[in-house]
Amino acid sequence: MGVVHLARGPTGDEVALKVLRPHVVADDEGRARLAREVTSLRRVRSPRVAEVYDADPWGELPFVVTRYVRGISLHELVRDQGGLGADDLRFLALGLAEALAAVHDAGVLHRDIKPSNVLMEGRAPVLIDFGLAKLAEDSKLTATGWLLGTPGYLAPEVLYGDSATPAADVHAWAATVTYAAGGASPYGGGPVMAVLDRARRGEHDLSLLPADLLPLIRQCLAPDPQQRPGAHEVVSRLRAPDRAAPPPGEAPPSGRSTRLLGVPVRTDPPRPAPSAWQGEPPTWQGEAQGERPVVPARSSSVLRSMIVMAALAVVAAALSLAPYVAAAGSFVLAWLFRTMSWGADALSDRRARRGPRRSDSVVATLTAPWYVVAALPGTVVLFVGASLSGAGGAVLGWVLGLGVWLSLAVGGAAFVTALWWGPGSRQLRRGSYRPVRAVATADRSGALWLAGLLAVTLALLAAHSSMQVLWWPDDAPPVDVLSWPVWLQP
């Protein structure tokens, strides 16, 4: 999902700053999705969750700011010390259930509850990363065969391909509590496919759970999501007199967790967000957020599409006036954009594996010549296909009696259509994304670019009234087909 940094907010408070990886918000659609999610995530208020304070979906490095939890994860705690005692386990189960209920009340699903997403603030659990897994699930990189989640904690219905629901979070809660009891998920270990198969069939091992928690955990792990209780029902059952967990301020019976971590249990109500981040969540409809301009996602996307169409119209008009020169320029631009796509994909892969590093720019510069060479063969194939389409369009226009320059305009339209949307054009479009988006989201300059491109198109079309087609560096068309169809000559 991203790389997390310890940072300080506007008032000096420690916060967790998560810089999202490129594949999570790869385009305007992903950034708009982040903006919508943050609006919901900021409504979650509970001492058992790491509240979301702020986010910047539209910056060069999109990020999310949350409360910083000073503690280790449940995964690390159990790995280093073994399973929790019965009283500590009940306290953990209730705290996590309260966190889950708060998240669901805000209309958010966690989608990836697991021991590493539970931080221990003393002996009190704090749930992190709620709702963010939805961004990766909705990413355009998600494809058939892509499994989002952690084996051993995924609900059976998700493995069958159904969408995640609150019942899936309840299942993951029960699996996490089971891990806390014995150091393993209820579906055991071994090969991933074996673990997934046990989860799909509901074959779990609950032998290390206390007897009073066993019925509830077993019901929450039911293969049928309809049979699982909701988060609020889980909280109510855990608070029942015969199985109540210690109140938040009470010292843990074993004392083990608090003594190890050296962090006091948090018993106060949720701390309000720092003053700079108080108030209702942003609507992300174009209002300024402090000093940061926020661009509406829909307007940016529409403007970007209009700029692309206007640029293609310039190329088509240029091809009708100077076919060889315009074709050569189109080839160079296509080669450049495909090279940029190769380099950007490689950079995204490196950052997805290792996170952003200072050496990224140096590596990108040193490897640029290789991407120039690697992008050439595909560019040649794409250009040849577009040229054949353009030639066919020009001949068709002449057969229909459109005249020389209108026939060339039809051919130019066919050329740019095949170049931009034809087979193998995906990398060309991806490579053009960054410069076009930079123009489309800049303040006012996007509209100026659009107006300028439209003016150039009109000027090229108007030039036909005062000058003939320029066939430079040749003196005439490649064949006489544009002056008279050769198959109709006597």
What's the gap between Cα 486 and its chain centre? 55
Best CA proximity match to 154, nearest among 190, 96, 198 = 198
pTM over 0.85: no
480 a catalytic residue: no
Angle of CA points 362, 5, 112, to nearest 5°: 110
Euclidean distance between CA atoms 411 and 290, whole angstroms: 50
pLDDT values of the chain reduced to their tens digit, one per residue, 490 residues? 778 899 988 888 889 998 887 666 666 676 777 777 777 777 788 889 988 888 888 777 888 898 899 889 999 999 888 889 889 999 999 999 999 999 888 888 888 899 999 999 888 899 988 756 555 444 433 434 445 567 888 888 888 777 788 999 999 999 999 999 988 889 887 788 888 888 888 888 898 899 999 999 999 999 888 999 999 999 999 987 544 444 443 333 333 333 333 333 444 444 555 555 555 444 443 333 333 333 333 335 677 788 889 999 999 999 988 899 999 999 999 999 999 888 877 876 665 555 556 677 788 888 889 999 999 999 999 999 999 999 898 888 888 888 777 888 899 999 999 999 988 888 888 788 778 877 775 556 778 888 999 999 999 888 877 778 888 887 776 655 445 444 444 4
Q: Which of 112, 212, 224, 345 is catalytic?
A: 112
pLDDT digits (tens, 9 = 90+) for 115-126: 999 999 888 899
Phi-psi region of 279 (alpha: psi -120 to 50; beta: other; left: phi over 0): left
Name the residue ranges covered by the structural domains of the chain: 71-245, 297-485
The class that CATH gives domain 71-245 is: mainly alpha
Report the candidate in 107, 190, 118, 100 with the shortest Cα–Cα distance to residue 151: 190
The separation between the first and the last C-alpha atoms of the chain, rounded to the nearest angstrom, is: 71
